[in-house]
Amino acid sequence: MNEYDSNRILDLTKKIKYEPTKDLNEANCYILNTCHIREKATDKVYHDIGRLKKNFINKSKPIVLITGCVAQAEGSILLKKEKYIDAVLGPQSYHKINDTILRLEKKKISPVEFTEFDVIEKFDSLNSLKNTDNKISSFLTIQEGCDKFCKFCVVPYTRGAEYSRSIEELISEANQLVENGAREIILLGQNVNAYHFKKNKLSNLILEISKIKDLKRIRYTTSHPKDFTADLIEAHKNCEKLMPLIHLPVQSGSNRILEAMNRKHTVEEYLEILKKLIKVKPEIKFSSDFIIGYPGETNDDFKKTIKFINQIGFINSFSFIFSPRPGTPAFDLVKVEERVSKNRLIEFQRIAENIKKNYRNNLIKKTVKVLFENKMKSGNRYFGRDEYFNSIIVESNSDLTGLIKNVKILKGNQNTLFGEIISNVDQTNYAA
Ligand code: SAM
Ligand code: SF4
């Protein structure tokens, strides 16, 4: 979502004639868009500013803005602690960026903080501006914020309450992205499947967007098990453009821990969703997030998590040691000993990696459908992703960007699979 926000910040600042630069020496305005989900986020901001200061030591100071969730959570503390920062703007206030920059240019304001939850005003401003993102696989934020209040999580405090954008503005923005060249759209939300606008849910939005002719693939992330309703499961049966990989965070394989986290579902309920999805789409696969060493997690709870990942065979498991976030209910809970958490994480990741390795080894000599996103810097190599979001590289003398090809997988390493095109025809026959 930060990537989407950063692109929109670029769209906004272009209006006042600012252009992105890769050369830090050339910058006269520096915007640091931040994430606050795990610890050290604030330290990273101070560290970055330190580097920036060194870089600009004998030059005129650039305008320095901090945006994103660290700006929201820390607000004026950042301004007080680090005088080099000119303004902080939270994730629901970044539409005020141009006005802020213009006033800072004229030195008309002293350091300023915008951390209101102006989500309606923000999207009103953004809607009046064409989305210029021109990636083959583009992000589209459809929903923000969260009302679930898991005890470990800062999102309800930094992004605010659940908010869904109107279906009309989303279809219009999806059309813009496809006109810019997108062939895949990844619908985003902190709880993407909580999307609801009037009578429309995520399933309706997916079916509407799938009508865009040149759009070949749709994905969505991140969903919450509690919002996995029957209509969304049906959409996986009815919409060929919807990719058969679902990222559905579970966090733990122990009901005791799920309850302590306030996740609002059990392991059995989670499994039931997977069963229903497999029934409508047998080739569907899953990935998930896990928090290791949540306060109160015993060895027995941890073993249940291990049993769970072995049972499901997630093709990707993202795991994090519990990070106490200030302001959340879990912050003050008695922590699992660091050494124990670290050992559990190592064991978890070893097992998760083995599951992933076996899955990827099984792909060798198989044929997969790859949507190519870009030519790589070296050689005639093209990068793309298959339906399960695996990274695939092939060699080709003709331009593959934006095309879907059948690719035979020849070999792979931990992160990338290498293959050869076996069909030069764009064989996609995806229908809405
Ligand atoms: N809304 C999604 C859900 O309910 O599963 C997850 C969104 S959260 C932004 C992304 C992931 O960060 C979570 O699934 C969780 O695994 C991880 N996470 C969030 N807070 C954390 C914390 N305090 N410590 C460790 N991991 C955390
Ligand atoms: Fe955070 Fe997701 Fe829980 Fe909301 S549902 S509080 S975003 S982990």
pLDDT digits (tens, 9 = 90+) for 261-317: 999 999 999 999 999 999 999 999 999 999 999 999 999 999 999 999 999 999 999
196 CA from centroid of ligand 2 (Å) = 17
Listed residue (174, 282, 175) closest to 236, CA to CA? 282
Is the C-beta atom of 38 inside 6 A of ligand 1?
A: yes
| In 313-385, alpha helices (H) | 338-361
Q: List pLDDT tens digits, range 125-148.
A: 999 999 999 999 999 999 999 999
Report the mean per-residue pLDDT for the chain: 94
305 CA from centroid of ligand 1 (Å) = 16
Q: List pLDDT tens digits, range 374-390.
A: 999 988 999 999 999 99
Q: List pLDDT tens digits, range 308-355.
A: 999 999 999 999 999 999 999 999 999 999 999 999 999 999 999 999
211 CA from centroid of ligand 1 (Å) = 32
257 CA from centroid of ligand 1 (Å) = 14
294 CA from centroid of ligand 2 (Å) = 15
Q: List pLDDT tens digits, range 157-214.
A: 999 999 999 999 999 999 999 999 999 999 999 999 999 999 999 999 999 999 999 9
Which atom in ligand 2 lies closest to the alpha carbon of residue 146? 4
Q: What pLDDT sits at residue 431?
A: 42
Q: Is the pLDDT at 427 greater than 70, yes or no? A: no
Is the C-beta atom of 224 inside 6 A of ligand 2?
A: yes
Out of 41-50, 202-211, 238-247, 320-329, pick the least confident. Answer: 41-50
Listed residue (155, 153, 189) closest to 325, CA to CA? 153
The secondary structure of 91-107 as a DSSP string is TTSGGGHHHHHHHHHTT
Is the C-beta atom of 317 inside 6 A of ligand 1?
A: no
Ligand number with the minimum distance to the CA of 289: 1
The span from the CA of 125 to the CA of 117, in Å, is 14
In sequence order, the 6+-apart residues with CB closer than 8 A to the CB of 399 are 375
Ligand number with the minimum distance to the CA of 159: 2
Ligand number with the minimum distance to the CA of 157: 2
Q: Nearest residue CA, atom 3 of ligand 2?
A: 150
Q: List pLDDT tens digits, range 389-421.
A: 999 999 999 999 999 999 999 999 988 999 999
3-class DSSP state of 163: strand
Ligand number with the minimum distance to the CA of 160: 2
174 CA from centroid of ligand 1 (Å) = 27
Q: Whose structure tokens read 């503005």?
A: 169
Ligand number with the minimum distance to the CA of 251: 1
243 CA from centroid of ligand 1 (Å) = 23
CB 41 within 8 A of CB 70: yes
CB 413 within 8 A of CB 386: no
Is the C-beta atom of 190 inside 6 A of ligand 1?
A: yes
Query: Among 39, 153, 314, which is best to mutate for testing ligand 1, by the most ligand atoms less than 8 A from CB?
Result: 153
257 CA from centroid of ligand 2 (Å) = 15
Listed residue (26, 109, 43, 54) closest to 78, CA to CA? 43
Is the C-beta atom of 251 inside 6 A of ligand 1?
A: yes
The span from the CA of 254 to the CA of 295, in Å, is 13
The span from the CA of 279 to the CA of 159, in Å, is 35
Is the C-beta atom of 93 inside 6 A of ligand 2?
A: no
What the block records as the tokens of 352 is: 């998760």
Query: Among 286, 320, 342, which is best to mutate for testing ligand 1, by the most ligand atoms less than 8 A from CB?
Result: 320
271 CA from centroid of ligand 2 (Å) = 19
The span from the CA of 395 to the CA of 279, in Å, is 37
